[in-house]
Structure 1
Amino acid sequence: MADTMQFDLVSPERSLLTAQVTSVQIPGADGDLTAMPNHAPLITTLRPGILTVDTDKGVQEFVVTGGFAEIGESLSVLAEQALPKADVDQATYDALVDEAQASYTHTKEAGASVDDAAKLLNDMVALAGSIGLTAKQPAL
């Protein structure tokens, strides 16, 4: 039984981490989960949240805004946006909420269902508490 598994975190901009890991806590759209070596194969979507990666060099945390995780013999996370948690300050967080707000407004003006856009916006607002920042209130 393996003690570690291969992990890759990538966003459209760059590869953020490639490492052997003992566990990864994933903010899944259907609930948080922890992937470890020998986890059952699974593909899940991500919600905005903190991705916590446990490596032999310590714990690393990343803020993700959505994407997918594919768990098999290895774990690949394809994030819409991902940043090291330490790099997310109030201005960066506010910009992420502004993007979610713009998406919500655009969807509403187009006359489409706003359920997914509203959930994304609310998840982004809730993320502030997880990273120790002041929540920016949305205009719904």
Structure 2
Amino acid sequence: MAETFLFEIVTPARLALSCEAACVIIPGGAGHFGVLPGHAAMLSTIVPGTIELRDKSLKILDRYFVEGGFAEITPERCTVLAEVATPLQEITRDDAEDRVKRAHDALMVSEALNVRVTAERDLRTAEAMLAAVNEYEKQGAH
């Protein structure tokens, strides 16, 4: 059996990442799940959160914050189609906290403008981004 598989993150703007991976952890709609070489074929929604690329010993090699999308997995590859994908080390605490504040502010005025659903989604994404930065800082940059 192969020791790696092709892993790609694709956004509407570009191919964000293409590499061989031994293990990837994805924030799926039904919870986080891991992908290893030879994984059964499946499709999954992705919620805002962190994708982790890990080596065979499960050490974290890289992290990407995604704002939602879909994952297509086959035994040979895993393709993530994400709305936005950002290397986690490029997101600062100030950026994440500012985004949460803007999302809270938008939510407060949304009821008057009848756009609460969009504001709630933006707030969940911003809070997921801040949680990802908190976890990244807690574990230390790898």
TM-score of the pair, normalised by structure 1:
0.74
Structure 2 equivalent of residue 80 of structure 1: 83
Q: Following superposition of structure 1 onto structure 2, how do residues 9-88 of structure 1 map, counting pairs within 5 Å? A: 9-54=9-54, 59-72=61-74, 73-88=76-91
Q: Deviations over 1:79-131 (max 9, x none)?
A: 111111100013432454436975896688347x83x8635523531442331
Q: Deviations over 1:45-83 (max 9, x none)?
A: 111111001258x71101111111110121001111111
Give percent identity, aligned residues only. Answer: 30
| Structure 2: segments with no counterpart, 5+ residues | 136-142
Name the amino acid aligned to 1:60.
Answer: D
In the alignment, the residues of structure 2 paired with residue 9 and residue 61 of structure 1 have an alpha-carbon distance, to the nearest angstrom, of 12
In the alignment, the residues of structure 2 paired with residue 11 and residue 104 of structure 1 have an alpha-carbon distance, to the nearest angstrom, of 30
Structure 2 equivalent of residue 90 of structure 1: 93
Name the amino acid aligned to 1:12.
Answer: P
In the alignment, the residues of structure 2 paired with residue 125 and residue 94 of structure 1 have an alpha-carbon distance, to the nearest angstrom, of 8
Q: Deviations over 1:7-50 (max 9, x none)?
A: 11122232221111001000111100001111111111111111
In the alignment, the residues of structure 1 paired with residue 36 and residue 44 of structure 2 have an alpha-carbon distance, to the nearest angstrom, of 15
Q: CA RMSD in A?
A: 3.0
User: How many residue pairs were aligned?
Assistant: 130
TM-score of the pair, normalised by structure 2:
0.74
Aligned with 1:32: secondary structure? strand
Contact 2:96 2:133 in 1 (8 A): no
Is residue 133 of structure 2 the alignment partner of residue 131 of structure 1? Answer: yes
In the alignment, the residues of structure 2 paired with residue 2 and residue 8 of structure 1 have an alpha-carbon distance, to the nearest angstrom, of 17
Higher helix share: 2
Aligned with 1:93: secondary structure? helix
